[in-house]
Structure 1
Amino acid sequence: MDKIKVLVVDDHPMVLEGMQAMLSQIDFVQITGLARNAYLAMEDIKTAIPDIVITDINMPEISGVELTAKIKKEYPSVKVIAMSTFNERSLISQMVQQGASGYLLKSASREQIEEAISTVSRNKLYMSLDLELSNKEQDEMSKLPVLTSREKEVLSLIAEGFTNSQIAEKLFVSPYTVDSHRKNLLTKFDVNNTAGLIKLAAKYGLV
């Protein structure tokens, strides 16, 4: 069986060392690199495309959320596992929304890391048990729609209470285009009205 190639991204050297030590004990894992920030991570990916990137969420300059979006755009086949010290549902939702396949707390044991890599490599969603997400929440997260950058802009402005005409003016597009984005958002979130859209988006920390 081919080894699963893993790149770890974190701005704390101690975390990188700890992850390297734990990953080196997992026989089906091959570490392709350890990166201290998103820029170095993208360079490493260009050099040797990993199967999985395990990245910290809270990093200076470019966050794990932005890095995940960039990875999924440029290397769709690369899977991402988010890692954080924070047990925050909104951050997890943002990561999943950008295409992350899993979430680990930094306090995770080697067994949990091993399980996360194994689960994600089988195209399944892995969420740390420490999160204590209900099955319903996990199921809902896995169904979170993927939005374009323009749809996110429109969603944010809708949540702020702007009308189609006002949004069109701000984004330099026609009201017809905004209306089209609004309808797409309602479809993607499977809701019937703007109130339902904002409620669901707020629940997952998207606005």
Structure 2
Amino acid sequence: MSQHKHTLAIVDDHPIVIEGIKNLLSDHTDIEITGSFTNGRDFLDYFTHTPVQIVLLDITLPDIGGIDLCKEIKTLAADTVVIAFSNHNERSMIMKMLQNGASGYLLKNASSAELINCIHEAIEGRITFSASIQEIISRPQIAEIREIPMLTRRENEILKLIASGKTTVDIATDLFLSKLTIETHRRNLLQKFGVRNVAQLISTATQLGVL
């Protein structure tokens, strides 16, 4: 039985980076690189008629910013996984990418093992970061310090499972609850922490010492 392949496109304005990624992924038979592009517009022209599952996206492109391009990709195909791959380590840029729908963020100095691991985690529906990015977003920010919300025992339990990378289906199975119940708890957690997505939830809960 042939192995299912996950299709991936690379968008980066440095051909040498594209070649390096192709070489790194060549031994991974579950990932098929179906296209590589040095600017955003060429990628969008391709993407509108050839869907891909994963986009490895540089933030600095010659024609359209990666942050805006990420949002456009998610508008066109919400299920497409976008992973930022950049030299930029500014916290504000990381958070903007996540707010626009990115599933992960890696610095270009990440190891090959980190790149492969992040791609696989993103495929599984997790929010994923290279180690250096994880360290950056976990630093407490004075401007973001706020009152710790009151959580129920169940909300605390689900928050920890979300932070461990478990999906809604995984959590429902582990806790013998319905998927709908877990989704309700997830929405309540986002509301209590005043955040819009899981990446912000984990980051804020970590800063507040809840995780």
Report percent identity of matched pairs. 36
Shift of 1:43: 1.9
Amino acid in the other structure paired with 1:35: F
Shift of 1:101: 0.2
Amino acid in the other structure paired with 1:54: L
1:78-111 deviations in whole A, cap 9, x for unaligned? 1100011122111110100000000111122221
* 3-state secondary structure, aligned to 1:57: coil
1:1-207 equivalence runs, <5 A: 1-131=3-133, 132=135, 133-134=137-138, 190=194
CA contact (8 A) 1:35 1:44 kept: no
Aligned to 1:194: none
**Structure 2: distance between partners of 1:69 and 1:26:** 28
Aligned to 1:180: none
**Structure 2: distance between partners of 1:23 and 1:136:** 35
**Structure 1: distance between partners of 2:63 and 2:43:** 13
Shift of 1:188: 9.4
Structure 2 portions without partners, runs of 5+? 142-158, 164-190, 196-203, 205-211
Structure 1 portions without partners, runs of 5+? 144-186, 192-199, 201-207
**Structure 2: distance between partners of 1:62 and 1:118:** 27
**Structure 1: distance between partners of 2:91 and 2:103:** 15
**Structure 1: distance between partners of 2:38 and 2:31:** 20
Shift of 1:61: 2.3
Q: How many residues align?
A: 147
TM-score by length of structure 1 reads 0.64
**Structure 2: distance between partners of 1:117 and 1:42:** 21
TM-score by length of structure 2 reads 0.63
Shift of 1:136: 8.4
* Aligned-CA RMSD value: 2.8
1:47-104 deviations in whole A, cap 9, x for unaligned? 4211100000111220110110100001111110001112211111010000000011
* 3-state secondary structure, aligned to 2:33: strand
**Structure 2: distance between partners of 1:45 and 1:20:** 19
More deviation, 113-122/102-111? 102-111
* 3-state secondary structure, aligned to 1:48: coil
